[in-house]
Amino acid sequence: MGFFSKLLGITPKKQPVHVNDDTFAAEVLQSKEPVILDIWGPNCVPCKQLEPIIMGLAAEYDGRVKVCEMTPQLAPRAASRLKVRGTPTVIYFKRGQEVERVVGLRSSLFHQETIESVFGIPLEEPN
């Protein structure tokens, strides 16, 4: 991201990887990269507020963290396996294992700090 984009607070957007029951294991559990899985619902207002944060994280950590999204309606087996009780839920995976779970809307800064603490990945790659 360029200097002026940072100065103005403009974050480029990147689409998360869509996950369903057929792709859950390959995209999340077998991923070589750490994974953030955003579980959302189409009629969930906090989920809509979280969407730009998740897209920003996908762009900011591109190539270092895989950001995925899933709706329980399109992935009922995966949602049941993960014991999802509500949306939004963001689950952090490392080597196919859940290492952190956040239920509810949290800020971009909160998720950046969580990525650093659970994955050891800072926002900016060192030069």
Work out the burial of residue 126: count CB atoms within 10 Å of its CB; fewer than 13 is exposed, 13-18 middle, 19 or more buried. exposed
Tokens for 93? 């995976």
* Active site annotation includes 47: yes
d(CA 96, CA 25): 9
Residue among 19, 37, 47, 58 flagged as catalytic: 47
Nearest partner of 102 among 6, 32, 113, 18, judged by Cα: 113
Choose, from 44, 59, 99, 103, the residue flagged as catalytic.
44
Closest to 91 (Cα-Cα) out of 4, 9, 27, 15: 27
- Annotated active-site positions, please? 44, 47
